Structure 1
Amino acid sequence: MGGFFTFGEMNSVVSTIPKPPLRIAVYIDGYNLYYGRLRGTNFKWLDIVKVFDVLLTQRDQHEQLEVVKYFTAPALANFATHGTASVAAQSAYHRALKAMHRERFEIIYGNHSYDKSGALLPSFIAGQPYDRTNRVRVWKLEEKKTDVNLALCMYRDACKGRYDRMILVSNDSDAEPALEAIREDFPEIMIGVVMPIHPPAPGREKHRRTSGSLAKHADWTLPYLQDGHLDHAQLPDVVPTNKKPIHKPSHW
């Protein structure tokens, strides 16, 4: 004969069913990450997905990384340090991340804009006050859409209830309105902020300050990325694909 569970026995069975892990999404301001932490280092071939796999394991809060969303703009050879080699290096990096992580890595592109005739801006002269009549023509390159794309993506994901926790990788206060809106409209979503800046160190001339406007809307912050975070999360020098393998750029 079949038996029956008593109410107490049923509660015991239910309580032993493991809870699903908390769903985590990471949103990266690629421009901010590169210029704030990676430029001028040997860590540019960074496996950013692995960085957060390790970080979440260390946090030990039953979290599962669902996706890393990377917001950037294609490099322009005319403005890049290594010209067309810089464009090729960026493309190789993005393709390597996609090849390594497929379903867990997304890249969202904005674009660069510049005034072909040159922007006319006031000249800075040390020790002299601002003079709007003393102007010089300069190249002014601007990254467009990245901030807006990132903010909209975070908010739309929050609206759709896709993730339990969100992590922003940026030290740019332009992201504050997005965090503030998510905090007000979806208080159940935990927000983390990782500041992609160098840790303070003796002999380092300048240390960028962390953005207080972002930190005040976060449940937790990581104020900088240590070299160890980056050194142990590098992509292989050769990344296999279904077609031609991707090689780490020689100047990286």
Structure 2
Amino acid sequence: MRTAFFVDGYNLFYGLLAGTEFKWLDLPGLLQHVLRVQEPQAFASQIHYFTSGVKPDLASRGVLSKQAQDTYIRALKAQGVNVHFGRHRLEPGRAPRFVNKQTPASRADQVDIWQLEEKETDVHLAISMYRLATKQANAPAGECIDQIVLVSADTDMAPALRALREDFPTLRIGVILPHREGIKREPPGSLLECAHWTRRLITIEELNAHQFPPRVPTRKKPACKPEYW
């Protein structure tokens, strides 16, 4: 079963990797492992990774954070991952002041803030899944994608998955939630309803077992694991 993965990089990082020692993740290896457990006859034919570039001025380590992301993306590309970029938008705005959890938000008490939004990534991911499914109608025998797997817990993806289920009934849909073992999160029901199967969490053992080597060969200089990772 030929499988195409579509990975929400932002969701993956903050749902699974942030604050851990596992950021140098061998993403293709982990996805193939999860797929093999779920469906032993399936294999990864394509992996698409959607992200936006780090803004050094707002990153915890400034330029080092941007360099680390760039290095990791070079490692992913060297392993055949297709990387797609969106962008960040930073604009001034206003929002209700936070007092405490017992005090409701009020439009009458607002403060000035900077609004940082990731733009184009979600729409690009959704359209890319649908376009791939559409192209299967004219694909040569033996090259058709039999299954699309979304790696995200973002419920904004539910309409896209629902459309795929309705318009391409022979296409299997899987969902891998980038939730780390030991952190309690409510599973997004709207995504689960659209999928033929779901992996609800990734274990610490799986993360530890699927890390890139310290130096990943590329066409140019090796991609080396950032020291602070």
TM-score normalised by structure 1 residue count: 0.84
1:131 maps to which of 102, 106, 110? 106
Q: Give the root-mean-square deviation of aligned CA atoms.
A: 1.3
In structure 1, C-alpha distance between the alignment counterparts of 2:37 and 2:96, rounded to whole Å? 49
Q: RCO greater where, 1 or 2, for CA within 8 Å and sep 6 or more?
A: 2
Which amino acid counterpart does residue 186 of structure 1 have in structure 2?
A: F
Q: Which residue of 2 aligns with 1:113?
A: 89
Q: Is the 8 A contact 1:198 1:208 kept in 2?
A: no
Amino acid at match of 1:182: L
* In the alignment, structure 1 residue 153 sits paired with structure 2 residue 128: yes
**Residue aligned with 1:124, SS:** coil
Shift of 1:133: 1.9
57-66 vs 241-250, greater mean Cα deviation: 57-66
d(CA) in 2 for partners of 1:141, 1:234: 30
Query: What is the aligned counterpart of 1:219 among 191, 196, 201?
Result: 196
Tell me the distance in 2 between the aligned counterparts of 1:86 and 1:210: 30
What is the match of residue 139 of structure 2? none
Q: Distance in 2 between matches of 1:90 and 1:169?
A: 19
SS at match of 1:140: strand
Larger Rg: 1
Which of 184, 193, 200 is 1:207 aligned to? 184
Q: Aligned partners of 1:139 and 1:133: how far apart in 2? A: 19
- Name the CA distance, whole Å, in 2 between partners of 1:226 and 1:96: 23
The answer to whether residue 16 in structure 2 is matched with residue 31 in structure 1 is no
Deviation at 1:55, TM superposition (A): 2.3
Residues 1:78 and 2:57 are matched in the alignment: yes
Please state if 1:186 is matched with 2:168: yes
Q: Which runs of 4+ in 1 moved over 6 A?
A: none
Asked if the contact 1:176–1:214 (Cα under 8 Å) also holds between the matched residues in 2, the reply is: yes
**Is the 8 Å Cα contact of residues 191 and 217 (structure 1) preserved in structure 2?**
yes
Letter in 1 for 2:85: Y
**Alignment correspondent of 2:28:** 49
Cα shift at 1:131: 2.0
Identity %: 42
2:42 equivalent to 1:66:
no
Corresponding letter in the other structure for 1:172 = D
SS at match of 1:66: strand
What CA deviation, in whole Å up to 9, does each residue of 1:52-111 have, x standing for no partner? 222233335421211110011000001111100000000000001111x23xx1011100
Q: Once the two structures are superposed, what CA deviation does each residue of 1:139-175 show, in whole Å capped at 9, x if it has no partner? A: 2111001110110000000111141001100011000
Letter in 1 for 2:152: S
Distance in 2 between the 1:85 and 1:136 partners? 31
Q: Which residue is 1:144 aligned to?
A: 119
TM-score of the two chains, using structure 2 as the length reference:
0.93
Tell me the number of residue pairs that the alignment of Structure 1 and Structure 2 aligns. 221
